[in-house]
């Protein structure tokens, strides 16, 4: 069992006042699950460049750690993520195009990392997930939420554009449903999010922690690590190919899978009528 936890630092100013500084991300590993927790509850877990960078690093650590098979993304406080930090929104008004492009690219790279991570990523949404915060929930492989959770791509309300999340949302739920959410810019309920396939499961607040953990363990035990990684990669790749290219690619991946150790062990267990625990 490994634990990586936020450190609390103390800094004294000229008046000897003590300022408590918390890291924006908490990270720990238990039972082959890496739990990554947004830790800016006083800022409604708003996204700034420090949080984006540390979240990206945490995901890279999870991907490279052979003891980790699944990742849970959750948050401290009453809000999952409210979108961009107010200070960052103010800075956007005076930033150069190059500065804004760099910031945008960082967020785009974070979303891509979650979407293409070779480990399963499960979002545990409690409270509001808005704008970029809703984007975080969107790019995960599975999303659990509570009945009280709210979702919205609200960028158009402040003259902004939900540009980055659009790339992923259209792939996830299709253009018609994505248009309704992105152009309407409405905040929707958990039940509406379930109907539009934005979330997978709604669980009572008192049960969501255990439900997400149990779901992660089910995936870990019953499914091959190699198979999960290969399937995630294919889900990304097949959508950009023509019909025949996708078929040729699928045939190639099928043939590659047959030669993997996991496939050989899994098939042998099936033939021997033994339960395979990965």
Q: Which residues are catalytic?
A: 155
- For the chain, the maximum distance between any two Cα atoms, rounded to a whole number of angstroms, is 73
- Residue 228, Cβ density class (10 Å: 0-12 exposed, 13-18 middle, ≥19 buried): buried
Cβ atoms of residues 6 and 25 within 8 Å: yes
Collect all residues with Cβ–Cβ distance below 8 Å to 61 and sequence separation of at least 6: 4, 27, 34
- Residue 34, Cβ density class (10 Å: 0-12 exposed, 13-18 middle, ≥19 buried): buried
What H or E segment, with its residue span, contains residue 188?
A: strand 188-189
Length of the chain, please?
278
**What sign for the dihedral angle of Cα 57, 113, 265, 259?**
negative
**What sign for the dihedral angle of Cα 46, 47, 50, 51?**
positive
């Amino acid at each position: 069992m490994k634990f990586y936890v936020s450190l609390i630092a103390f800094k004294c100013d000229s008046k000897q006042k003590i300022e408590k500084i918390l890291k924006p991300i908490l990270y720990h590993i238990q039972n082959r699950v890496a739990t990554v927790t947004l830790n800016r509850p006083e800022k409604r877990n708003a996204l700034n460049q420090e949080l984006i960078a540390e979240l990206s690093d945490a995901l890279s650590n999870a991907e490279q750690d052979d003891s980790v098979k699944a990742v849970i993304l959750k948050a401290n406080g009453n809000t999952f993520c409210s979108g961009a930090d107010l200070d960052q929104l103010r800075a956007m008004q005076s930033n150069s195009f190059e500065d804004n492009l760099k910031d945008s690219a960082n967020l785009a790279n974070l979303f891509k990392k979650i979407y293409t991570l070779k480990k399963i990523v499960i979002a545990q949404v409690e409270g509001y997930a808005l704008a970029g915060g809703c984007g975080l929930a969107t790019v995960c492989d599975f999303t659990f939420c509570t009945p009280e959770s709210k979702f919205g791509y609200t960028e158009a309300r402040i003259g902004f554009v939900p540009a980055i999340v659009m790339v992923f949302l259209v792939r996830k739920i299709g253009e018609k449903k994505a248009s309704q959410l992105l152009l309407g810019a409405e905040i929707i309920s958990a039940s509406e999010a379930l109907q539009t396939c934005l979330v997978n499961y709604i669980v009572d607040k008192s049960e969501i922690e255990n439900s997400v953990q149990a779901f992660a363990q089910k995936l870990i035990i019953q499914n091959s690590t190699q198979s999960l990684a290969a399937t995630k990669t294919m889900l990304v790749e097949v959508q950009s190919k023509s019909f025949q290219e996708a078929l040729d690619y699928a045939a190639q991946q099928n043939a590659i899978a047959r030669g993997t150790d996991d496939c050989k062990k899994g098939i042998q267990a099936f033939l021997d009528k033994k339960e395979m625990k990965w």
